[in-house]
Amino acid sequence: MTEETANTPAANTAAGPPDEETAAASGTPQAPRLPMLLEAVLSVGTDLELRATLQQIVDTAAALTEARYGALGVLDTERGTISELFTSGLDDTERQRIGHLPDGHSGMLGVLIDEPEPLRSDDLTTDPRSCGVPPGHPPMHSFLGSPIRVQKQVFGNLYLTEKRTGHFTDADMALMRVLASQAGIAIGNARLYEAARQRERWIEGAAAVTTTLLTGENAVDALMTVAEGARVLADACAGVILQPNKEGGMEIVTASTLDDPAGIVGTTIEPGSALLVQLLGGEPVFIEDSATDPRMTTHVRTRFGPSMMLPLQSGGRLIGTLALPRRRGDRPYTAADRQLASQFASQAALALVLADAQHDREQLAVYEDRDRIARDLHDLVVQRLFAAEMMLESTRRRAAAPESDELLGKAVDELDSTIQEVRTAIFTLQQPPAEVPTTFRGRVLRETRGAAAVLGFQPSVHFDGAVDTLVRDPVDRRLLAALRSALATAHRRAGVSAIEVEVDATAVLPDGRAAVRLAVADDGRDEDGSRSPTFTWQAPL
């Protein structure tokens, strides 16, 4: 048989299919594994959730190549390290024994990061490139690694160790290349889906915060709304608002945290620090580890790790800074996280400015309405009352009977008193509305002053004990509601000309517990003519 005959297709066909060793040497996947490869290619990427896709890839690769252990390391392109590691073949006990997983700075993982090409080793224990294996890691000998590229950019690396039947072959490497190529497509799709969902969440969150701010919340609640919304969207452990203080520094005025916020509110960044210069200049600050970054000087920095500090500014006006720290050891913020959070901060700042402007417009409308009511009272009501008083006075002088003179005199006195009260009301309306009192004592007095406009006289109020210190939420709200109800009831009684209100924070319940007691007494009469009983309400402190 000549050489040409030996090389004809017929001769090759007669020789039969290549055996397993030949296929392995040539890098061709063996026929029994082709259906598994096809099934894996079809299944990878069926889940658009990125983390589920990554776990599916590493599990599939380990099963295809008969590897005991597998891992997929996601690269942080900014730092050149592994930011997340998905594993296969390790149980919970082995994970705890390993402790901290490698970050890719050294060993075979580091080689694959520095040189993103397929890598194979038959024995890691003798390979000089192998180092940095965690002490608790199970024994490993054979190794196979391959980069995963997404649109020509290395997304991460796939690692397989301990082939159950010996060493990894060229056929295993071919399987790895095919799977890595398909994994790149699946990861690209999952990343696009994840980015779209993340952007949608931030947009919806920003819209919800804006809507809430424009419903008329006060300044403190508005800042808390921004801090809470940003904390949830950024998956941070705290949302913090800082504002410039009189000393030239910045102070934490609002904090939304999952844990105890004690010690956070009131923390100050002192003037002169490099961090403060950036924040007051409206520049965002991104920190890898708050506990170790030399720019962080506050005592609360030890609680936190990665952090974003974003200016809240609109139209050149700096409202404050939004800080979003994560716990120490949590994953760092990505470039997409930073961009979306910065856009949220810009929109939140604009919403705060708009809410403040809306509040000013509402206040102006209140002032204008009060001024109009005052003018109407002065021009119409007072003038008519005064004319009626003059007519009665003239009639009184012409009246002959002493009884008529007395009755007309009383009517004139009543009209004169009414005119004085209306003039007082006009003066009050022309003054700016008083701010809502912050103390409990102030809120009680505000309720009684409001009732005086309806009753025609000012109820007397007496306090016993340190009411501002002892009476707290929700008892204070319940007591104020009971006071309003008692004053309204007294107004409906006949002949009420005096009301006495007493708030006693030194009261004691029958079981010995400290309590606050409210007593409201008036001089009116019930329908049957009897004196009205004293209204009493009490609650434990």
pLDDT digits (tens, 9 = 90+) for 397-456: 666 666 666 667 777 777 766 666 666 566 555 555 555 566 788 888 888 877 776 677
Residue 375's DSSP bridge partners are: none
Judging by beta carbons within 10 Å of its beta carbon (0-12, 13-18, 19+), is residue 54 exposed, middle or buried?
Answer: buried
Phi, psi of 460 (to 5 degrees): -85, 145
**What are the C-alpha distances in Å from 322 to residues 179, 342, 501?**
43, 9, 46
Give the pLDDT score at 99. Answer: 60
Residues 6+ apart with CB under 8 A from 170: 24, 25, 26, 27
Residue 72's DSSP bridge partners are: 86, 158
Mean pLDDT across 365-382? 70
3-state helix, strand, coil in the chain (%, to 5): 50, 20, 30
DSSP per-residue string spanning 498-541: -EEEEEEEEEE-TTS-EEEEEEEEES-B-TTSPBPPPEEEEEE-
**What are the C-alpha distances in Å from 384 to residues 158, 181, 514?**
93, 93, 54
DSSP per-residue string spanning 14-25: HT-S--HHHHHH
**CA–CA separation, 104 and 491 (whole Å):** 79
Single out the residue of 187, 516, 218 nearest to residue 358, CA to CA. Answer: 218
Mean pLDDT across 26-35? 54
Give the pLDDT score at 280. Answer: 82
Average pLDDT, the chain: 77
Residues 6+ apart with CB under 8 A from 416: 389
Confidence category of residue 58, pLDDT binned at 50, 70, 90: confident
**CA–CA separation, 98 and 133 (whole Å):** 9
pTM of the predicted model, to two decimals? 0.50
Could you report the per-residue pLDDT of 178-202, keeping only the tens digit for each? Answer: 888 877 887 777 778 888 888 888 8
Give the pLDDT score at 15. Answer: 36
**CA–CA separation, 101 and 492 (whole Å):** 76
481, 520 contact by CB (below 8 A): no
Higher pLDDT, 434 or 274: 274
Counting other chains too, the contacts that 505-511 makes at CB distance below 8 Å and 24 or more residues apart are 505/463, 505/464, 505/465, 505/466, 505/467, 505/470, 505/471, 505/541, 506/464, 506/465, 507/538, 509/538, 509/540
Give the pLDDT score at 518. Answer: 93
Higher pLDDT, 215 or 501: 501
